[in-house]
């Protein structure tokens, strides 16, 4: 699958100090994939953030087409319980 990172997603990653390798890893092999708004998909994974010294959730918002995953935005959060889908 070809992964395209939009300029907006790159801007947000830089602004939020999120490593591109972590974004690509989550996009390729998410722990969870859930439907988002506007026919988008959210690929998310938990990880240990060394800077914050705690477990965090990285959420990659993307549009999926045959053979292409277009990353629209990315963010990380400590509110894992809010976004983690149990039973998946």
| pLDDT, tens digit (0-9, with 9 covering 90-100), for 56-70 | 999 999 999 999 999
- 3-state secondary structure at position 60: strand
Residue 5 C-alpha from the chain's centroid = 11
Domain assignment present for 52:
yes
- Main-chain phi, psi angles of 71, to 5 degrees: -80, 120
Asked whether residue 88 is domain-assigned, the answer is no
Residue-number span of the structural domain to which 8 is assigned: 2-83
8 belongs to a structural domain: yes
Cα 79 from Cα 83, distance rounded (Å)? 7
How many domains in the chain? 1
- pTM value > 0.85: yes
- Whether residue 68 lies inside any domain: the answer is yes
User: Where does residue 38 fall: left (phi above 0), alpha (psi -120 to 50 degrees), or beta otherwise?
Assistant: left
What pLDDT was estimated at residue 88? 52
The residue with greater pLDDT, 63 or 88, is: 63
Two tokens at 70? 């277009």
Angle at 42 between CA 38 and CA 47, to 5 degrees: 160
Tens digit of pLDDT for each residue in 7-60? 999 999 999 999 999 999 999 999 999 999 999 999 999 999 988 899 999 999
The reply to whether 72 falls in a domain is yes
User: What CATH number corresponds to the domain at position 70?
Assistant: 3.30.2310
69 belongs to a structural domain: yes
- pLDDT for residue 2: 96
């Amino acid at each position: 699958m070809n992964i395209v990172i939009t300029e907006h997603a790159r801007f947000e990653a830089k602004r939020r100090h999120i490593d591109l390798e972590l974004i690509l890893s989550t996009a390729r092999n998410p722990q969870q994939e859930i439907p988002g708004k506007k026919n988008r998909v959210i690929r998310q994974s938990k990880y240990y953030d060394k800077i914050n010294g705690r477990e965090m959730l990285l959420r990659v918002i993307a549009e999926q087409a045959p053979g292409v995953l277009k990353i629209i935005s990315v963010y990380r959060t400590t509110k894992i319980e809010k976004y983690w889908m149990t039973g998946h």
